[in-house]
Structure 1
């Protein structure tokens, strides 16, 4: 088959996806894709074959399938995949080489790791069909249009770096595709990534020089940049601001809208390493499920459905696109509320609010009495890759101190692992011009929140308002 024939087939398929807008058409597509996904899982994944062995054929409804969790999938990694060439050994070997970030695993797959926000890290592999749905999502969200071909995009990604994280791997692959494709170079002038651990002043100066037209980043990072813009230190006029990955307050959202008021589009996204496109925001602040590729089920602690209007304990995600590592009724760990009535924006697809795990934004007091805001996502970059570290939590217990709860893989590695953790966190505070911040180890291990049963990585455990106002 010639390259032109393959390209024509891909463009035809993309056009079909793009024109699919009517509710009935999308839901028919969803049912068809779900049937194919379950069939693929039952016939090609040894893990799902065992899991579904007691169920009838065909399966009457999605709700009859048992949910799955990240630890469960990671423990059955080799048997989970539908391509028998995908193994834990080969995946680990590939991801150990950081020069391969964004390169195709086994010659055809995108592979990435999750940040461990649920308390467990994961490795996820996507098939070639993933890119078609990502472009459809980008185009339908209004992030790209024909005018971009006359006003070239400078796309800035602010994310975790240093490993095969989903955002970094995707943007690295996108930039390499841009360099190869004259068509993409017509639309994109450049695509850059800045690490979340970059000192804020250095980050602001770099962004001022780059002058991005499109910014993508963690919600807390975008909120921090909004404060810098309002304070007059950041001077940019992006056309599009896209954020996600974290819960932020309504006050933070208002500041983002104020700071970047000239932007044509400010959008929020609900996504994860497990499912790259779950939902996207509308002008009324609701996240509308990407129903052509994702099914979202708000459930209680026993995985029973939660009525619309009530906050769920967790949410089950089914990714209709990934046939390589099927994600079917996957426990995402986030708390969501399904809108009980039609959204006034006119979008007919399910609308949700996502509470997530609500990691706290750290607000540290500087030597001159000012307050410096630090994104919780920074600590994933600092700590997730440390050998010997199984789990961690950062607890801010005063304006100038943090306590670290850590769990190591073995007692023999405890002292060495703690020294590495301490040095990375202390060096980070020093680079942020916060040398007075003290870092100490907590005697207790990382633990779930007793009120919610959720695992939070970054928490503030003091009264911020009063403490930060003190001289």
Structure 2
């Protein structure tokens, strides 16, 4: 019996059920079983879970009862369909920060798990969840990874961010043992740079993982280095990316370097895994048995067009997030996937709402425009587009080592084409573009 099978059958149940007295093992089994249901059965289950949560919020979460009453809801029984649900007020990050205490039910306050996220803007955001919700999130995440071959116990390299700041030796040891127990090898993406990138390549080749899990941009940098130096790499069975948007040209680059399929995932710290690709790579399956995911344009639910993502976590009774706007945009689909997975589809994650560049003439330039444009300019190592006022943008560029005379005119022409010449464009050559506090690189920053 190999380690993965031994882990799933023996070690994993012993650790969580016997030692931790947790329900995680049972929840993993249940989550996987739900993939044998029809989509109608999943939607029925979703509605049952949502109805339970709404009743709980009405009676236990002061914020929701007050806000729903303000729009004419006199009884929770009035919210009797998803159509009616979609008319409820949305919840913003600012709402959470302003009315934090009103959103935490008194019955769970003492036992809640408290979490924080730096967010793409670097502004700390705090929230809470109950233990049962934490267990459900783990189960859904492992199910999604398992669908593409990165399941529990699989020998995997994680090119991921690790704990920041002064971490005690005990905590470092504890985290190291936990990762090795799961057969995971952690490579700190925050510390990877031009001077040590070869060590990361050698480490991966030494470990010979069956799977890799990574932030997108560090993996792209690694792939570029491998291809440029014609390095023969160990071939994993699968690569899973997350935390950042994955563009098709980036997928092609990574697949070329590692000679294996790359599968994208989408999530946020507030709810963990929202959707993930299957082996067909035809879109992302939405975890509707844990979440209600909507996309909104001017407050109205839409499908087959990009909109602001609204998420309702069906499992978090510690601090319920109902129609919560996480700041991202996506396109939902009416299509079904022929892979056999009944979960409905998300065509694409379209970036953060803050990533959209605005023009004085009313045009909106999606963040995806810029990676697709800049990939064709080989003299550019890194870039970032920053907008601090409506009339102009600042394009920051890090040159490749061999570049000496950059030509900005072709870039200016392309931007002028899409903005209809309404934007003033300033170019700055910089030494580096820093990551956000959460270890990601934002390609566009709109402060307007």
TM-score range, shorter chain: 0.5 to 0.7
Contact 2:149/2:237, CA 8 A, preserved across alignment: no
Change (3 A) 1:292 1:177: farther
The one of 112, 115, 134 equivalent to 2:115 is 112
The one of 368, 372, 376 equivalent to 2:381 is 372
Find out whether 1:125 has 2:128 as its counterpart: yes
Change (3 A) 1:237 1:204: farther
Aligned twin of 2:138: 134
Aligned twin of 1:60: 80
TM-score, length of structure 1 as denominator length: 0.63
Change (3 A) 1:198 1:345: same
Change (3 A) 1:239 1:108: farther
The one of 206, 209, 216 equivalent to 2:203 is 209
| Residue deviations 1:170-194 (CA, integer Å, cap 9, x gap) | xx9999478379xx83xx3444240
Find out whether 1:309 has 2:321 as its counterpart: no
Change (3 A) 1:212 1:135: farther
Contact 1:296/1:316, CA 8 A, preserved across alignment: yes
Alignment of structure 1 residues 404-415 onto 2, 5 Å: none
- The separation in 2 between residues aligned to 1:196 and 1:112, in whole angstroms, is 21
Contact 1:396/1:460, CA 8 A, preserved across alignment: no
Alignment of structure 1 residues 65-464 onto 2, 5 Å: 65-83=88-106, 86=109, 109=113, 111-117=114-120, 120-129=123-132, 130-142=134-146, 153-159=155-161, 161-162=163-164, 176=174, 179=177, 185=181, 188-210=182-204, 211=207, 213=209, 214-231=211-228, 232-233=230-231, 235-262=233-260, 266-282=262-278, 283-301=280-298, 303-306=299-302, 308-312=303-307, 314-352=308-346, 353-357=348-352, 371-373=380-382, 395-399=394-398, 437=430, 458-459=443-444
Contact 2:58/2:76, CA 8 A, preserved across alignment: no
**Shift in Å, 1:249:** 2.6
Out of 244-253 and 210-219, give the one that drifted further.
210-219
For the residue of structure 2 that corresponds to 1:19, the secondary structure is helix
Contact 2:27/2:135, CA 8 A, preserved across alignment: no
* Structure 2: tracts of 5 or more residues without a match: 1-16, 356-366, 387-392, 401-428, 434-440
Change (3 A) 1:27 1:83: same
**Shift in Å, 1:126:** 3.0
For the residue of structure 2 that corresponds to 1:162, the secondary structure is coil
Change (3 A) 1:288 1:40: same
| Residue deviations 1:267-294 (CA, integer Å, cap 9, x gap) | 1111012221110013233011011111
Change (3 A) 1:256 1:180: closer
Structural RMSD (CA)? 4.2
Change (3 A) 1:163 1:126: farther
* Structure 1: tracts of 5 or more residues without a match: 87-105, 380-393, 402-435, 441-455, 462-471
Contact 1:241/1:266, CA 8 A, preserved across alignment: yes
- The separation in 1 between residues aligned to 2:128 and 2:22, in whole angstroms, is 26
TM-score, length of structure 2 as denominator length: 0.66
- The separation in 1 between residues aligned to 2:62 and 2:151, in whole angstroms, is 48
**Shift in Å, 1:217:** 2.3
Aligned twin of 2:413: none
- The separation in 2 between residues aligned to 1:325 and 1:375, in whole angstroms, is 35
| Residue deviations 1:429-450 (CA, integer Å, cap 9, x gap) | xxxxxxx83689xxxxxxxxxx
| Residue deviations 1:120-177 (CA, integer Å, cap 9, x gap) | 531132322223432343235426879975xx6243242265269xxx9xxx999947
The one of 17, 41, 59 equivalent to 1:43 is 59
